C-alpha cells in the first residue's frame, strides 16, 4: 500500500457517505482484524484517501485510528464529522478545525465540586497553518464562496467527552461551559483519535461541521436538516486539506531527491588536491580524496541500516538526557527504533514495509527537531530499499 495517502475517519455513516461522495475508484481494504476501509482518490486530483468508520465514542475511535495508522502509515489522519456548537461564535453549517482537543471528562470529585483535570492535544503546527491558508483562499466549499450562505472555517478548541451533550442548563452543560469556555464545539471522538496520533507520531486534524447548538434541539426536524449539510461542509474542507497535504508530501520528496542528485555532481562535492590528506567532516562521506557533502551516508544494506539506527538511538538518548524529549516521547521513539531494527534483520518478504512504517512514525515523534528529521530521511529511504 502506498505511504503517500491520507486517512479520513468518521463516526457516523452519514459523515462517511459525505466523504465517500468526494472519492472515486474506491476499493475495499481489509485489516487483519476485520476492520474495513475503502481506498480511493479525491475526485479531480491524484490524492489518495483511506476512508474508515469508527462508530461513536473516544474508545472506539482510538482503536480504529491506531489500526489505520499502523496499516497505512499515512501523511496525516483527519477525523471528520458533525458537532454541537457551545457558543454562538460558530453558525450552523460552519466548519470548526481544532487547534487543540480537550478530553474534558478527566477530573477529581471533591467536597466542593468537580475539579477539571483534562488532557489536551494540540494540532500539528504544519496542518494548522495549511488549514488557515485554505480558509483564507476560501475555494473549498461546494456552494458559491462569498455568498451569505457560504460556510466559514473557525479555528479553536474542541471538547470531547463520553456522553451526548444536548442541554444548555444541565449541571454538566454549565460545568463544561465554565471550565472549557474557549471550546467552540463539543463531540465524542476527537480525544481518542488525538491520543492514537500522539502515540504513533502521526499528525492528526479534527474537522467538524456544526449541526446543532448542544441546547436540547438534537433529533429535531431542524437538526435532521442541518446534519447532512454540516457533514458535507466538513467533508469538503477535509478533502481539500487532504489534497494539499499530499501535494506538500510530493514536493518534499522531490526536493529531497533533487538534493540527493546534487550531492553526487561535481558541484556537490569538494576535491582535496593532496593524495593522502585527512579531512574532518561533520556530516558526509569520503571516497578517496573526494568529500561528499550529504546530510548523512546512505545505508546500503541491513547491516549498515542497523548500525545507523543504533547511532540514531544514541542521538535520542542524548536529547532525553538533556531534557529536550519528555519521557513518553522518548520511550515511544525507542520502541519504534527497536521495531525498525528487528524489521531490518527480518528475512520475511515484508521487512521494507515494516521498517519504513516504524521510521515514519519515529519521524513524527521527533518532528520538532529538524536535525533529527534530517538524519532520519536517508534511513527511511534505506529501509524502503530492503528486500
Mean pLDDT check: name the lowest of 74-83, 163-172, 182-191.
Answer: 163-172
Q: Pull the grid cell for residue 320.
A: 532525553
Q: Can you give the residue ranges of every domain in the chain?
A: 6-249, 283-384
59-68, 128-137, 190-199, 252-261, range with the lowest pLDDT:
252-261
More reliable by pLDDT, 28 or 342: 28
Q: Are 234 and 151 in contact (CB under 8 A)?
A: no
Question: Which pLDDT score is estimated for 30?
Answer: 94
C-alpha cell of 36? 474495513
User: How buried is residue 215: exposed, middle or buried, by Cβ count under 10 Å (0-12/13-18/19+)?
Assistant: middle
Residue 130 to residues 127, 185, 240, 244, 292: CA-CA distances in angstroms?
A: 5, 21, 10, 8, 35
Q: pLDDT tens digit string along 166-185? A: 667 577 878 778 778 888 99
Quote the CA–CA distance of 110 and 103 in Å, as a whole number: 19
Do 159 and 185 meet the contact criterion of CB atoms below 8 Å apart?
yes
Other CB atoms within 10 Å distance of the CB of residue 115: 11
Cell of 373: 528529521
Q: What is the pTM of this model?
A: 0.66
Instruction: Give me the pLDDT at residue 241, please.
Output: 96
* Residue 289 binned pLDDT confidence (cut-offs 50, 70, 90): very low
Q: State whether CATH 3.40.50.300 applies to domain 6-249.
A: no
Query: Is the pLDDT confidence value at 146 over 70?
Result: no
Find residue 79's DSSP bridge partners.
Answer: 9, 206
> Contact 76/69 with Cβ under 8 angstroms?
no
Per-residue pLDDT, averaged over 294-322, amounts to 76
pLDDT of residue 122: 93
CA dist., res. 384 & res. 367, Å (int) = 20
**Element containing residue 248 per DSSP (H, E):** helix 221-263
Residue 80 φ/ψ, nearest 5 degrees: -130, 140
- Asked if the model's pLDDT at residue 272 lies above 70, the reply is no
Average pLDDT of span 309-337: 85
Reading the block at residue 383, the C-alpha cell is 529501509
Amino acid at each position: 500500500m502506498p505511504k503517500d495517502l491520507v486517512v479520513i475517519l468518521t463516526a457516523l455513516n452519514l459523515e462517511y457517505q459525505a466523504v465517500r461522495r468526494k472519492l472515486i475508484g474506491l476499493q475495499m481494504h481489509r485489516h487483519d482484524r476485520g476492520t474495513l476501509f475503502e481506498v480511493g482518490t479525491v475526485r479531480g486530483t491524484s490524492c489518495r484517501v483511506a476512508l474508515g468508520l469508527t462508530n461513536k465514542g473516544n474508545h472506539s475511535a482510538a482503536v480504529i485510528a491506531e489500526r489505520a495508522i499502523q496499516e497505512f502509515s499515512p501523511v496525516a489522519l483527519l477525523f471528520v464529522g458533525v458537532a454541537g456548537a457551545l457558543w454562538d461564535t460558530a453558525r450552523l453549517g460552519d466548519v470548526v478545525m481544532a487547534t487543540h482537543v480537550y478530553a474534558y471528562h478527566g477530573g477529581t470529585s471533591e467536597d466542593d465540586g468537580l475539579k477539571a483535570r483534562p488532557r489536551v492535544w494540540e494540532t500539528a503546527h504544519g496542518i494548522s497553518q495549511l488549514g488557515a491558508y485554505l480558509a483564507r483562499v476560501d475555494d473549498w466549499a461546494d456552494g458559491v464562496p462569498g455568498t451569505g450562505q457560504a460556510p466559514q472555517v473557525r479555528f479553536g478548541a474542541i471538547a470531547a467527552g463520553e456522553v451526548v451533550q444536548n442541554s444548555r442548563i444541565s449541571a454538566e452543560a454549565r460545568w463544561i461551559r465554565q471550565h472549557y469556555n474557549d471550546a467552540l464545539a463539543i463531540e465524542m471522538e476527537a480525544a481518542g483519535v488525538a491520543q492514537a496520533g500522539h502515540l504513533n507520531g502521526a499528525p492528526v486534524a479534527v474537522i467538524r461541521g456544526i449541526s446543532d447548538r448542544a441546547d436540547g434541539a438534537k433529533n429535531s426536524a431542524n437538526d435532521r436538516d442541518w446534519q447532512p449539510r454540516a457533514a458535507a461542509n466538513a467533508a469538503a474542507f477535509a478533502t481539500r486539506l487532504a489534497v494539499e497535504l499530499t501535494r506538500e508530501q510530493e514536493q518534499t520528496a522531490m526536493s529531497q531527491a533533487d538534493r540527493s542528485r546534487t550531492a553526487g555532481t561535481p558541484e556537490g562535492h569538494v576535491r582535496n588536491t593532496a593524495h593522502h590528506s585527512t579531512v574532518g567532516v561533520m556530516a558526509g562521506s569520503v571516497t578517496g580524496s573526494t568529500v561528499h557533502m550529504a546530510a548523512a551516508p546512505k545505508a546500503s544494506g541491513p547491516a549498515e541500516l542497523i548500525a545507523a539506527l543504533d547511532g540514531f538511538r544514541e542521538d535520542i538518548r542524548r536529547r532525553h538526557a538533556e531534557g529536550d524529549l519528555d519521557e513518553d516521547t522518548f520511550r515511544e521513539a525507542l520502541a519504534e527504533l527497536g521495531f525498525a531494527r528487528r524489521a531490518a534483520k527480518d528475512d520475511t518478504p515484508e521487512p521494507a514495509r515494516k521498517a519504513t512504517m516504524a521510521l515514519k512514525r519515529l519521524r513524527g515523534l521527533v518532528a520538532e527537531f529538524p536535525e533529527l528529521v534530517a538524519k532520519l530521511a536517508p534511513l527511511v529511504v534505506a529501509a524502503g530499499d530492503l528486500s
